[in-house]
Chain A
């Protein structure tokens, strides 16, 4: 049976492409509004926003209680977009997140099968503790994240745009969890690790959350936020990348593959290297960073800024690396150091 595709819900013509300055202003406003609720984690928040404007999804890793859910919820409020939250558990089924077809009886007494959208049909989806769901359920996200559509019972449904998945991952309590397969990991543009807040940040958290004062997040975009966000995303795609920069990105990603890499650390400790999606993530993230840095072209520094978030979760190290304490981040850092000579 050939699937049919529902037309996108937004049929309105796109807004004119904003200027880089408008982009920077919108980005700064988002950081400011989310920062009202989220204390600290400035780098993590910046990476999340970069991935959002780049059109990707983010995997957030952090211990419980560190503010993962708060970040996602605050971002949804600031963007003024539809927001869904799914708590992934071991008994969660794919239809629980994608939606299902149910039998409905019409007013005339006739019974028809109709589709009931699941939580995926929102602009922002929080997949909390995604590693607790079974691989079958996790795989239900693959099509949605990559192709922005869901196929249920042979019928394909387009998702809303912008569609942004924020999944959280608990690095502890691994009992009863299912590590994300590489294919699933590869669909996240960035992986952001939240670290424990500093003392000053912790003091502000206490001051802001234990009193009567509750931070109120104002929407950044007044009317038609989705259309405005899509316009900003289009602007990101307009950023110019010179062929030498593309060559640098390609070589950087290529060097993560142990079979072809010229780096000893990669050949020795890396089991699986980054895919072409890694290169796409590097360029898209660098484009956003370039705009934020006041440029309309991607520079070496932009690539380096997003490389750790874009490549670390795509580089899978082997057992030897784990025993010797070599982490994917260490491998990426080493490649970036070596990559300085490729820039000339």
Chain B
């Protein structure tokens, strides 16, 4: 290898080293900024987070620009490579002269002797390390940045993915509880489903089944449906309803009738006399074109069960409905006690719509059998960004932002529900059609005749 080739080799190594330095610096700083941004996302409010992220981005861009400029300025040519070698090996500027002398200087009669001198000195530097590191010190930056990013991002990812075993465990617990108490309410199951399908705590929007989580939400939904059918519907809810059982019609009246008809079996276990399972296909979630999911009762009555993603309730209920607004606004609040109050798909957020999903939820609350989630997919034909939650015999979910628990029972609401249920039952009795043969008896009663 002659002097020129060796010089080119050193120059290439120097340029490659410069490129490695710049790349490692930019990549390392980028990873560190990413890790810092992720850490800030989990700790800061949105506005400070945006500020911090913007600062990190600006800093990273500045570093990248500086690295690019340095790479361009320090790009080695033959002269720079010769200087580098002369700095490492004392060649008395022979190589520097060979590399730097322009054409007029090369016409000297001594030029061939200079080349010969450099050839003689070639073993002193050609093939030697010359202090050019194979890996620059800046290579530690990407490693550090990667570690920092992993340390920051992995815990966050774990927090965002609930373990499926938790839902199954709760489902089983709910089924067992229902059997043990004979209260015939799959409250734990409902809680598990609610937690899996309801919005995440704190943001008022939360996790969705077909939302941004995409395919993972679909998996969770399918898993939940299968587990529910296997463990809850098969054990806790019992066999299909017997003939003559009073099915809820999905309307407010149906829910009230269920409340009123405790003697008819609502609130009792399926094993108890008079207990009745919910009808299959009682509740079916459908998707509206506007992103709403509505609950369609058996009678066809519909009520807005969910809100649009924007949180603005737009449900319209059946006239005469008196569903209780959830979280102070929604109606048709499910009863945690499971005593005849309907379980309904819970609207996301603090729904204030008048729609009552009571009919849809009443079947589950009454502990009747059948596929609660129906054979049809929950999200079929639904908008991908729709959100919904199911509460089956459990307390309502507190969707207040910042709440960590996500589920709280409001004692005042329970009392009010009980009172309202009794009042509604009494009102229904008063408006009940009385057979003609009872007219005389009734008139006598109202006349307070003996």
Q: Quick check: A297 and B94 within 8 Å, CB to CB?
A: yes
Could you say which residues of chain B place their CB within 8 Å of the CB of A241?
97, 101, 105
Residue on B nearest A16 in the bound complex, by CB: B109
Closest residue to B91 on the A side, CB-wise? A299
Q: How far is the CB of A170 from chain B (nearest CB, A)?
A: 39
Contact status of A17 and B97, CB under 8 A, knowing A240-B114, A301-B92, A344-B83 = no
Task: Using known A-B contacts A240-B110, A242-B97, A243-B100, determine if residue A296 contacts B117 with beta carbons closer than 8 Å.
Answer: yes
Contacting residues, chain A, for B414 (C-beta < 8 A): none
Minimal Cβ-Cβ distance residue in B for A237: B108
* B93 adjacent to chain A (CB < 8 Å): yes
Interface Cβ pair total, 8 Å cutoff: 59
At the interface, yes or no: B96 with Cβ under 8 Å from chain A? yes
Cβ contacts under 8 Å, A232 to chain B: none
Asked whether B110 lies within 8 Å of A238 as measured between CB atoms, the reply is yes
Question: Are B87 and A297 interface neighbours, CB within 8 A?
Answer: no
User: A295-B117, A344-B83 known; A239 and B110 CB under 8 Å?
Assistant: yes
Determine how close the nearest CB of chain A comes to the CB of B398; give it in whole angstroms: 71
Residue from the list B83, B93, B109 in contact with A297, Cβ < 8 A? B93
Chain A min CB distance to B180 (Å): 87
Q: Are A296 and B92 in contact (CB under 8 A)?
A: no
Check if A20 is an interface residue, CB within 8 A of chain B. yes
Q: What are the residues of chain A within 8 A of B83 when measuring CB–CB?
A: 244, 344
Residue of B whose beta carbon sits closest to that of A242 = B97
Question: For the complex, what is the distance from the CA of A38 to the CA of B101, rounded to whole Å?
Answer: 40
Instruction: Kindly state whether residue A274 has any CB partner on chain B within 8 Å.
Output: no
Partner of B93, one of A20, A238, A299, A344: A299
Q: Which of B79, B94, B100, B109 contacts A17 (CB 8 A)?
A: B109
Contact of A296 among B79, B96, B114 (CB under 8 A): B114
Q: Give Cα A238 to B105, complex, Å.
A: 9
Cβ contact of B108, chosen from A240, A299, A301, cutoff 8 A: A240
In the assembled complex, the Cα of A239 lies from the Cα of B93 at a distance in Å of 13
Bitwise, A21-57 to B at CB < 8 A (1) or not (0) is 0000000000000000000000000000000000000
- Given A242-B100, A243-B102, are A20 and B110 neighbors across the interface (CB < 8 Å)? yes
| A245 close to B (CB within 8 Å) | yes
Give complex CA distance A22, B216 in Å: 88
Q: Return B86 CB to nearest CB of chain A, in Å.
A: 9
Given the complex of chains A and B, what is the CA–CA distance between A133 and B113 in angstroms?
A: 48
Task: Answer yes or no: A298 CB below 8 A from chain B CBs.
Answer: yes
- Whether the pair B109, A295 counts as a contact (CB closer than 8 A) is no
Q: Which of A241, A242, A243, A298 has the most CB of B within 10 A?
A: A242
Minimum CB–CB distance from A278 to chain B (whole Å) comes to 21
CA distance A296 to B79 in the complex (A): 19
Q: Determine the distance from Cα of A180 to Cα of B196 in the docked complex, in whole angstroms.
A: 103
Name B75-98 residues within 8 Å CB distance of A.
79, 83, 87, 92-94, 96-98
The minimal Cβ–Cβ distance linking A105 to chain B, given in whole angstroms, is 53
Give min CB distance, A139 to chain B, whole Å: 36
Chain B residues near A115: list those with CB within 8 A: none
Contacts of A299 in B (CB 8 A): 92-93
Expressed in whole angstroms, the Cα–Cα distance for A297 and B97 within the complex equals: 7
Q: Which residues of B contact A300 (CB under 8 A)?
A: 93
A50 vs B274: C-alpha distance when bound (angstroms): 127
Contact partners of A245 in chain B: CB under 8 A:
93, 96-97
- In the complex, the chain A residue whose C-beta lies closest to that of B100 is A242
Greatest chain B CB density within 10 A among A238, A240, A244, A298 is at A240
Q: Closest residue to B113 on the A side, CB-wise? A: A296
Contact B110 A242, beta carbon cutoff 8 Å: no
Complex contacts, B94 vs chain A, CB 8 Å: 295, 297
Q: What residues of chain A lie closer than 8 Å to B100, measured between beta carbons?
A: 242-244
Interface size class of B (residues with CB under 8 A): 20 to 34
- For A344, what are the chain B residues with a Cβ–Cβ distance below 8 Å? 83, 87
CA distance A179 to B94 in the complex (A): 42
CB-defined interface of B95-129 with A at 8 Å, one 1/0 digit per residue?
A: 01110111001001111011001000000000000
- The answer for the CA separation of A295 and B92 in the assembled complex, in Å, is 9
Q: Interface centre among B92, B94, B101, by most A CB within 10 Å?
A: B92
A244 and B96 in contact, given A295-B117, A296-B117 (Cβ under 8 angstroms)? yes
List chain A residues, Cβ under 8 A from B87: 344
Nearest-neighbour CB distance to chain B for A16, whole angstroms, equals 10
- A240 interface neighbour in B79, B92, B101, Cβ under 8 Å: B101
B92 contacts across to A, CB distance below 8 A: 293, 295, 297, 299, 301
Measured in the bound complex, the distance between the Cα atoms of B108 and A163 in whole Å is 25
Name the one of A238, A242, A298 contacting B109, with C-beta atoms under 8 angstroms: A238
Shortest Cβ gap from B31 to chain A (Å): 35
Closest CB-CB distance, A17 to chain B, in whole Å?
Answer: 6
Question: When chains A and B are docked, how far (Å) is the Cα of A297 from the Cα of B100?
Answer: 12
**A245 to B105, alpha carbons, bound, how many Å?**
13
* Distance to closest chain B CB from A23 (angstroms): 11
Task: Kindly list chain A residues whose C-beta atoms are within 8 Å of the C-beta of B110.
Answer: 20, 238-240, 296
Name the interface residues of A289-318: CB closer than 8 Å to any CB of B.
293, 295-301
Residue of A nearest to B109 (CB): A238
Residues of A within 8 A of B97 (CB): 240-242, 245, 297-298
B contact residues around A244 at 8 Å (CB): 79, 83, 93, 96, 100
Q: B385-438: which residues lie under 8 A (CB-CB) from chain A?
A: none
Q: With A245-B97, A297-B97, A298-B93 as known contacts, state yes or no: A240 contacts B117, CB within 8 Å.
A: no
Residues of A within 8 A of B114 (CB): 240, 296-297
Determine the chain A residues whose CB is within 8 A of the CB of B79 once the complex forms.
Answer: 244
Q: B225 → chain A, closest Cβ, in Å?
A: 74
Q: Which residue of B lies closest to A234 (CB)?
A: B109
What are the residues of chain A within 8 A of B111 when measuring CB–CB?
240
Report A244 CB to chain B, min CB distance, Å: 6
**Which chain A positions have C-beta within 8 A of B108?**
238-240, 296
B19 smallest CB distance to A (angstroms): 23
Cross-interface CB contact of B101 among A20, A238, A242, A301, cutoff 8 Å: A242
* Closest-CB distance, B311 to chain A (whole angstroms): 67
CB nearest to B79 among chain A residues: A244
CA distance A240 to B107 in the complex (A): 10
Of chain B, the residue at the smallest CB distance from A248 is: B93
A295 closest partner in B (C-beta): B92
Residue among B93, B100, B101, B102 with the highest chain A CB neighbour number at 10 A: B93
**Interface on A for B, CB 8 Å cutoff?**
17, 20, 238-245, 293, 295-301, 344
Question: What are the 4 tightest A-B residue pairs by CB atom distance, in nearest-first order?
Answer: A297-B97, A242-B97, A296-B110, A299-B93
Mind listing 27 A-B residue pairs with CB under 8 Å? A17-B109, A20-B113, A239-B108, A240-B110, A240-B111, A242-B93, A242-B96, A242-B100, A242-B105, A243-B102, A244-B83, A244-B93, A244-B96, A293-B92, A295-B92, A296-B108, A296-B110, A296-B114, A297-B92, A297-B94, A297-B97, A297-B114, A298-B93, A299-B92, A301-B92, A344-B83, A344-B87
Residues of chain B having any CB pair with chain A under 8 Å: 79, 83, 87, 92-94, 96-98, 100-102, 105, 108-111, 113-114, 117
Q: Can you name 9 extra interface pairs (CB under 8 A) apart from A238-B110, A295-B92, A344-B83?
A: A20-B110, A240-B101, A240-B114, A244-B96, A296-B108, A297-B94, A297-B98, A297-B117, A299-B93
